Structure 1
Amino acid sequence: MNGELDFDDILYFPEEIVTEKIANDILVISVTTANWIVLKNKIQLSLLNKLREGWMIGQVVEEIESEEEMASFKSLLAAIFARKFAGVGVLPTKEYLEGYKMLNIYITNACNLRCKHCFMRSGTKLKSELSLENWIGILSNFKVSGGENVTFSGGEPLMFKGFANILKHAHDIGLKVTVLSNGLLWTENMIEELAPFIDEIQFSIDGVNERTNAVVRGEGNFDVVVETVVKFSNLGVKTSVSTTFTYENLEDDTDVRYKELVVAVRRRTSNEVFFKLSKKLLPGRNVNISSEENEKYSKRIKGIESFVDKNADYENFIAGHSPNLIAKNCGLGGMSINSDGSVYFCNRIYEVESYGNVLEHPISYFMEKGKEIHEETSVDNVEPCSGCFLRYICDGGCRIDDFDFSGKLKNTVKPYRQITCTDEKKHKLMKRMIDSFDYFYDFDS
């Protein structure tokens, strides 16, 4: 049977489990743990029901009458344990995505580029930007107050004098450090010096070659960034490339050229470089498109992603839905601090409200406020999400794009409402759950 199971073992399942027949598959959803498995026949469903009723493993085996049933039972058990769908003698352990323990710092508005789609509209340093000493204190207080992760972006972080000191301090006090950079200002010495203090770094390349990248990010930058990507990756830092195409540089052969870029970079690195494609164009310096145009844009970008790796969507979906990891919110409540100290609870800071300044209140005050916002806009407290069996898997969607309050809470009357969900979207999500499960798990081999 299974080396980890005894015949007298009993599996403990969460109480609220929903089954949905989708085409030839049976999707079994554990509502309260944001988890699911996929069954391939009614035999497996019958065996699962026996286990849920408290039958011991041995009792189920004794009832099995054919090799087909035994094979189905083995596959069922494999699925249950692969997804930690039940526990032996104990319930599965839940985990929560807690956005208010994450800090996003726009450390300066200064930038050496003027990208057309930049939603921060970065360029010139603000007159009232915080000092090195301010940021050191903010990071220390964030950590003491329970903070865990910090992301530095801008503008371009390296435009801030003393950024290396801030980076090292964040690392030394135990924060997980991520840096978002345009990749143009990193010297060989800087890379070697600062790489040990960075957990993850992301660079922006918004074209497939010098010509198309220049349309968005200016001339002479493409090869420089590629070299920086390769150097960081080969030093063992988790390195990713984020690409936001615009309608100005999307061409008929973009899918082919983008794949060539991915292959060329990966051939030069000893560690995997992760490539990410933005599937939505946010309002930016020279970009402001309708929701209908964004839907067409998203479809085009997904086509490029699929051309590079036909399984990318499945891999990304499973990676973003670890077993029993509950997502109650898109991330609203996670703190973003602008370079002048203004505090927001979404990284799209120019589309939401400021809740004050870090020079006026301690970090603990804002973290508590972030937790409060995170909870009051969670799927448990908005309509119609609170009654949906997919709520902890879906997380409700973007609180700016998909809700009636459009990211602004101060003058909004409760209850908050999700206004874009449809039965079609729910069906697509469930189909995606099945397809990603089938791709990732193979219990018949």
Structure 2
Amino acid sequence: MYMRSPNAKVLVREERVVLCNTRNGGFVKTSEAYFQYLEKYLEENNGEFTIKEEDTVVKKNAYKLFQELCRIHFYISEEQMKNEITYPYQIVYLSLTNRCNLRCKHCVASACIEEVDHMNTENWKKAINQVLILNPKEINLTGGEPLIRSDFCEILEYLRGNYKGAITLSTNALLLNDRLMEIIKKNVDGVSVSLDGFDSYSCTKVRGEGIYDRVIAGIKKLKEAGMEKVSVSMLETKYTYGHDQDFYKLCEELDVKPLIRRFAPSGRGEENQRELLPPMEYIEKLEKQHLRCSLCQPGKKELNISENGDVYPCAPLSNLENLFMGNLLETPIIEIIENPAWKEELEKLRPWRMEKCKDCDVNLFCHSCINFTLGMQSDEEIFQKFCEKQKGHLEKLLWGN
């Protein structure tokens, strides 16, 4: 017996439909008539579809459509349903602190040096014990700047001693020293360094004077110490727009993996979005073969543990009180993730529920990150310009208009 996946969504324009799986991003375009025929057939045949040699061309074509929709898990079997609604956690972020030795213009956490640490070493060990119950594939140590904590090494070694999965570290690489390097190399599987530019000027505009050379020096320390898995990220802003190749060349010279991150106007980024947003022309970089309707899965594939033990679906959404899931020092983690309240609030932020977007027939291809969309909507003028440009481009790619 086959049924619609809970991740199945339909976009309609005139007599055409786009049938989407918002979990894996797969989609199929067809006529509304064929889709209605298929839906009716499945309803009348208890979710089963059989085909014979003597069947009509219409039925045979509907069967081909059915096979395509099963391939993208638009339709799923009863056995597949469990996997479709159960998400093994890919990653849990431990935001060890909101203190940071920088004050970057885009920081979603608005981290700064004046912040205080809310959890001591023992509390973080208790929090880690809770997280390990979920057995995520990866645990990322982040901040703020995690290396700013005097007990960072103790927390890291405790985690490594009790967890067999991948441990990654997100850092600005400014505080690295020989002692830290030795412990990081021994206990961490990969390091992600934020540079946010491709040269001194672009980095300075976001992170401050003199930071570029110091970060590059930190990256070189990691490589010289023998860290194999090092990635370096650049933020897509008006200062880096059009310089992807320059960034890739820099990363090749440093022998690191390049990552280009989309600017999201939240936290301090909301205050500075008019300065940092890249030109709207970047929207046109999206090509037809790269179209996807996959939505982010905060709270399902990932979690963020804030510096005080509060749990949120993801780090960028940690500023939304209605998405507070619970506190690890007060509530068992299984009880936290099974609480329906945060799931209901998260659902309200989906494109089919968001007031400004719910009637749009390309919204599933526009909304890939809730935080980015909320940030754009915080400035009505910018949002309208973005929406007009994005919608026009997606309409051409998706509907051929």
TM superposition score category, shorter chain reference: 0.5 to 0.7
Q: Structure 1 length normalisation: TM-score?
A: 0.60
Describe the superposition over 1:353-412 as per-residue Cα deviations: whole angstroms up to 9, x where unpaired: 998997xx735347635643423414279998399799999699459948x9x9xxxxxx
The DSSP-based 3-state class of the residue aligned with 2:242 is: helix
Question: Is it true that 1:221 corresponds to 2:211 in the alignment?
Answer: yes
Q: Which amino acid aligns with 2:2?
A: Y
Aligned-residue offset at 1:195: 4.5
Separation of aligned partners in 2, 1:263 and 1:335: 33
Question: Is it true that 1:26 corresponds to 2:49 in the alignment?
Answer: no
Match for 1:12 among 2, 8, 13? Answer: 2
Asked if structure 2 preserves the Cα contact closer than 8 Å seen for 1:141 and 1:364, the reply is: no
Following superposition of structure 1 onto structure 2, how do residues 188-199 of structure 1 map, counting pairs within 5 Å?
190-191=180-181, 193-195=183-185, 197-198=187-188
The DSSP-based 3-state class of the residue aligned with 2:241 is: helix
Describe the superposition over 1:205-224 as per-residue Cα deviations: whole angstroms up to 9, x where unpaired: 23331123123323333244
Following superposition of structure 1 onto structure 2, how do residues 10-409 of structure 1 map, counting pairs within 5 Å?
12-14=2-4, 19-22=10-13, 26-29=17-20, 37-40=27-30, 45=35, 48=38, 52=42, 53=45, 54-56=48-50, 58-59=51-52, 62-63=54-55, 76=65, 79-80=68-69, 82-87=71-76, 91-92=80-81, 93-96=83-86, 104-118=93-107, 119-124=109-114, 126=116, 129-144=118-133, 146=134, 148=136, 150-174=139-163, 176-187=166-177, 190-191=180-181, 193-195=183-185, 197-198=187-188, 201-226=191-216, 235-237=227-229, 239-243=231-235, 245=237, 250-251=238-239, 254-266=240-252, 269=255, 272-278=257-263, 280-284=264-268, 288=271, 293=274, 298=277, 300=279, 303-304=281-282, 310-311=286-287, 314=290, 317=292, 320-321=294-295, 327=297, 334-338=303-307, 341=308, 343=310, 345=312, 347=315, 352=321, 362=329, 364-365=331-332, 368-369=335-336, 371-372=338-339, 373-379=341-347, 385=353, 397-398=370-371, 401=374
The DSSP-based 3-state class of the residue aligned with 2:331 is: helix
Q: Residue 240 and residue 91 in structure 1: after superposition, are their counterparts in 2 closer, same or farther (change >3 A)? A: same
Separation of aligned partners in 2, 1:106 and 1:122: 14
Q: Residue 18 and residue 194 in structure 1: after superposition, are their counterparts in 2 closer, same or farther (change >3 A)? A: closer
Separation of aligned partners in 1, 2:125 and 2:69: 46
Asked if structure 1 preserves the Cα contact closer than 8 Å seen for 2:241 and 2:278, the reply is: no
The DSSP-based 3-state class of the residue aligned with 1:216 is: helix
The DSSP-based 3-state class of the residue aligned with 2:97 is: coil
Separation of aligned partners in 1, 2:251 and 2:34: 45
Q: Which amino acid aligns with 1:276?
A: R
Q: Which amino acid aligns with 1:27?
A: V
The DSSP-based 3-state class of the residue aligned with 1:28 is: strand
Asked if structure 1 preserves the Cα contact closer than 8 Å seen for 2:5 and 2:76, the reply is: no
Separation of aligned partners in 1, 2:78 and 2:57: 26
Q: Residue 220 and residue 51 in structure 1: after superposition, are their counterparts in 2 closer, same or farther (change >3 A)? A: farther
Is there any run of 5+ residues in structure 1 with no aligned partner, and where? 1-10, 407-420, 439-445
The DSSP-based 3-state class of the residue aligned with 1:108 is: coil
Q: Residue 79 and residue 399 in structure 1: after superposition, are their counterparts in 2 closer, same or farther (change >3 A)? A: same
Aligned-residue offset at 1:124: 4.0
Q: Which amino acid aligns with 2:192?
A: Q
Q: Residue 434 and residue 26 in structure 1: after superposition, are their counterparts in 2 closer, same or farther (change >3 A)? A: farther
Aligned length: 375
Asked if structure 1 preserves the Cα contact closer than 8 Å seen for 2:99 and 2:143, the reply is: yes
Separation of aligned partners in 2, 1:50 and 1:351: 42
**What is residue 414 of structure 1 aligned with on the other side?**
none
Q: Which amino acid aligns with 1:212?
A: S
Asked if structure 2 preserves the Cα contact closer than 8 Å seen for 1:39 and 1:45, the reply is: no
Q: Which amino acid aligns with 1:264?
A: L
Q: Which amino acid aligns with 1:237?
A: K
Q: Structure 2 length normalisation: TM-score?
A: 0.66
Separation of aligned partners in 2, 1:28 and 1:213: 42
Asked if structure 2 preserves the Cα contact closer than 8 Å seen for 1:28 and 1:37, the reply is: yes
The DSSP-based 3-state class of the residue aligned with 2:100 is: coil
Aligned-residue offset at 1:94: 1.0
Asked if structure 2 preserves the Cα contact closer than 8 Å seen for 1:109 and 1:124, the reply is: no
- The percent of aligned pairs where both chains have the same amino acid is 13
Is there any run of 5+ residues in structure 2 with no aligned partner, and where? none
Separation of aligned partners in 2, 1:150 and 1:217: 26
